[in-house]
Amino acid sequence: MSKKTKKLSKTWLALWLLCLVLLSGALPASAQMAGQSALPSSTNSLYFPYLLAVPGVDLSIGFVEITQATQDLSNSVSLVANRSAVVRVYGRIDQAAAVSGVQVSLSGTRDGSPLPGSPLLLSNSQAFPLSQTLESLRSSLSNTYNFQLPASWLSGNVTLTATIDPNFLIMDRARGNNSYAITRSFNNVPQLNVVAVPIEYVDIYSGTVYPPPTTSHLQPILIAMYPVPAVSVTVHAKMRFSGYLNDGSEWERLLDRITTLRASEGAAPSTVYYGVVPLEDAHGDTWFYGGVGGLGWLGGSYGGPRAAVGLGVSDVGPDGYFIGAHEIGHTFGREHAPCDVTPADENYPYPGGNIGQYGLYVSAMQLRPATQKDIMGYCTESYWLSDYTYKGMYVDQERFAVQQITSPVQESLYIRIAFDHLGKASFEPIYSFPARPAAYVEDSPYSIQFVDAAGQVVSSQMVRPIRAETDGLEVQAVHALLPRPSTPFVQIRLVKEGAILAQKQLAQSDLTSRAAAVTLESEAQGWLLRWASAEPALVRYSADGGESWITLGVDLLGGELHLEQEDLPDSRLQIQVILGDTLNSLLLNR
C-alpha cells in the first residue's frame, strides 16, 4: 500500500471515529448547545454542523388533569363554571432520571379563539421518567406543572393544550408527542345559598343560657369542597331553643323547628337552612361531653328539605367545620360513607370511607391524599370529599339550575308529623299561611286526608316521609306544605294504605277581639310581644308589606315572646302571630 493510500485511510478512520463520538453524545453539552461540535488537533480543528448530532432525549406530555376539588385519571368529574380550577400537567422524559427547568406552556381557546393571557408558561417543575406511573406522580404537587386558570377561562367549552419545551430550548429527537390537548366544558351550576340560624340554647335542667355562636366557619369550608361557583351565607336572626341536647331525641325537635322556620319564610328549594348550636356559656363552660353533634334531612332523591343543625366552632368541642360540611352534605342527598358509622351508603366505592382519589384544596394549593376520609363518614382526623360524593352533590345542585317553581302563592297548610322509635305517628301543631305548595307526590303509600264535621273526606293528598340519621339515632317525619282545601274541614288524618295512623282535631279559637289580641310593649332589654291565645304559635315579621318574612319563633307557648332590641329592625313592620291548629293568625302593624 502506498504512503498516499495509508494517509487517506487514516483520515477516513479519524472521520469515522469522530462520527461515533458525536452519535454517542460524548461531546460536552456546551459544544452541542452552541450549534456545532469540535475536536482539537495539533494543527487544525475540524468543525461539523449541528445536524450531525442526534439528541439523546425524548420529552412528552403524559397527561393533563383538571381539578376544582377532586378528579380522577379519566377527568370524569364535571367542572363548574366560574369556580377556581387548577390544571396539573405531567411532563415526561425517556431517560432514567428526572430533568428540571423544562418549560411547559398551557394555551386555551374557546370556539377557536385564544383566551386572554394565552399561553401561560411555567418552568418550575420537572419532567419525570416514563418508568414512573401517573398515579405515583399524583402524590405530590411538585411532580406536576400546576396552572391556576384565569377567571376568563372558566366558562363554556374550552380547549386546553399543554406543550413541553414550547420554545425549543432542549434538543428533542421526537417533537410529535410534545403537546396534549383536552376539551372540557365548564358547566353552569347555581351558587349555594345558606341561611345560618344562630341558636340561643337554654338548658331546661340547669337554666344555663348558651349564647348564639358565630357562623363564619361555614363559607370557607363549603366553597373549598362543594361543586358550586360561590357560597352565600346569610346570618338569620337568632332562634331560642329550650331543651336538653344531651338527649339525642332533642336534636330531632330542634331540626323540626329549623325546618318549620324555613317553610314559614318561603325559602327557595335550593336554599339550605342550617341551625348553629353553641357549646359554651358566657364563662366558657360547655354542656357537650359527647353524643349527637348534628342532624340533617336526607335530601336529593330522598325528598327531604335542605335543613340541618349542628354544633358550631369551639375549642371545647368537635370540629365544627367538619360537622357543617357533613350535615349540609346530607341535605344534598348524601348518605354516610363507611367510616366509624352505621348504617352507611352501600354504593360507596372505596373501602374504609377513603376518598379514593387525590383531592386539592385549590385556594391553599394543598393536596389531599387518596387515603384521607370522606366528609360523609365519621372519621374526622383527616377528611376531604371523594369524587363519588362530589359527583352526587354536583347532580343535586345542578338540578336547581333548570327547576322552575310554577305553583302560585295560595293559602297553604304546613303539616308536621313525627314518628317515634316504634313507628307511631303523631301530629305537631299545624300552621296556615300563604305559600307556594310543594309539588304533588304521586307514588307514596302515605296520604293526608281532610275530614269535615260529618266524617267525610273532602280532600286528600299523598305525602312522603323524610328521614335523617346519625350514629344511634334514626328520625322519620312528614313535613308537607299543602294547599288548604276550600271546603270546610275539622280534622286532619295521616293514612297509610287505608289505615289511619294519626289524626288531629282543629282547635276553636275565640278571636272576637282581634284588634287587641296582640301587643308589643317596650321593656328594659328590648320588647315583649303578647297575644291572647293559648295555642302554640309561630311568630314572624315583614318589613316589606308581606313580600318576605323573618320567623322569630316556632311552637311558642304561654302567649308571649321576649325580644332583644336587635331582633327587630327599626322600621315599619308587620308582626304576625300564626296560631297552631286553628287556621287563624293575628297581625300587628308597628
Joined together, the cell numbers standing for residue 284 give 366558657
Give the model's pLDDT for residue 470: 87
Give the model's pLDDT for residue 381: 82
Give the model's pLDDT for residue 424: 96
Give the model's pLDDT for residue 55: 54
Encode pLDDT of 321-375 as tens digits.
Answer: 999 999 999 999 999 999 999 889 999 999 999 999 999 999 999 999 999 999 9
Instruction: Determine if residue 184 is left, alpha or beta; phi over 0 gives left, psi from -120 to 50 gives alpha, anything else beta.
Output: beta
Give the model's pLDDT for residue 341: 92
Residue 540's nearest CA partner among 512, 514, 568 is 568
Element (H, E) at 550: strand 550-556
Look at 29 and 410; give whichever has higher pLDDT: 410
The predicted model gives 452-460 an average pLDDT of 96
Counting residues of the chain whose pLDDT is more than 70, the rounded percentage is 89
Fold designation for 59-187: Immunoglobulin-like (2.60.40)
pLDDT at position 132 over 70: yes
Residue 166's nearest CA partner among 87, 100, 105 is 105
Query: How many CB atoms within 10 Å of residue 166?
Result: 17
Give the model's pLDDT for residue 508: 74
pLDDT at position 585 over 60: yes
DSSP string, 345-375: -TT--SGGGB--S-EEEGGGTEEE-TTSEET
For the chain, the domains span 3-52, 59-187, 192-357, 410-505, 514-589
Encode pLDDT of 492-529 as tens digits.
Answer: 999 999 999 999 999 876 554 555 589 999 988 889 99
Q: Which of 19-23, 33-37, 424-428, 514-518 has the highest mean pLDDT?
A: 424-428
pLDDT at position 245 over 90: yes
Give the model's pLDDT for residue 402: 73
Joined together, the cell numbers standing for residue 442 give 304521586
Element (H, E) at 539: strand 537-542
Quote the CA–CA distance of 172 and 546 in Å, as a whole number: 72
pLDDT bin (cut points 50, 70, 90) of residue 427 is very high
pLDDT bin (cut points 50, 70, 90) of residue 27 is very low
Look at 38 and 538; give whichever has higher pLDDT: 538
Distances (CA, A) of 213 to 236, 272, 275, 314: 12, 18, 10, 9
Give the model's pLDDT for residue 511: 53
Give the model's pLDDT for residue 3: 44
pLDDT at position 491 over 60: yes
Give the model's pLDDT for residue 65: 97
Give the model's pLDDT for residue 165: 96
Give the model's pLDDT for residue 73: 94
25-29, 75-79, 420-424, 479-483: range with lowest mean pLDDT = 25-29
Give the model's pLDDT for residue 23: 42
The predicted model gives 303-314 an average pLDDT of 96
Joined together, the cell numbers standing for residue 40 give 482539537
Quote the CA–CA distance of 506 and 583 in Å, as a whole number: 8
Give the model's pLDDT for residue 514: 54
Please report how the helices 218-225 and 320-331 are oriented relative to each other, as an axis angle in degrees rounded to 10. Answer: 60
Give the model's pLDDT for residue 507: 86
The predicted model gives 270-274 an average pLDDT of 97
Look at 43 and 568; give whichever has higher pLDDT: 568
Encode pLDDT of 47-102 as tens digits.
Answer: 444 444 445 799 999 999 999 999 999 999 999 999 999 999 999 999 999 999 99
Distances (CA, A) of 26 to 31, 32, 47, 168, 169: 10, 10, 15, 22, 20
Of the CATH numbers 3.40.190.10, 2.60.40.10, 2.40.50.140, 3.40.1190.20, which one belongs to the domain with range 514-589? Answer: 2.60.40.10
pLDDT bin (cut points 50, 70, 90) of residue 44 is low
The predicted model gives 434-459 an average pLDDT of 93
Give the model's pLDDT for residue 39: 39
Give the model's pLDDT for residue 336: 96
Instruction: Please tell me if the domain spanning 59-187 has the same topology as the one spanning 192-357.
Output: no
Q: Is the pTM of this model over 0.85?
A: yes
Quote the CA–CA distance of 264 and 554 in Å, as a whole number: 9
Identity of the amino acid at 523? E
Give the model's pLDDT for residue 401: 78
Fold designation for 192-357: Collagenase (Catalytic Domain) (3.40.390)
pLDDT at position 45 over 70: no
The predicted model gives 416-424 an average pLDDT of 94
The predicted model gives 171-185 an average pLDDT of 95
Look at 196 and 50; give whichever has higher pLDDT: 196
* 227 in Cβ contact with 393 (< 8 Å): yes
pLDDT at position 42 over 80: no
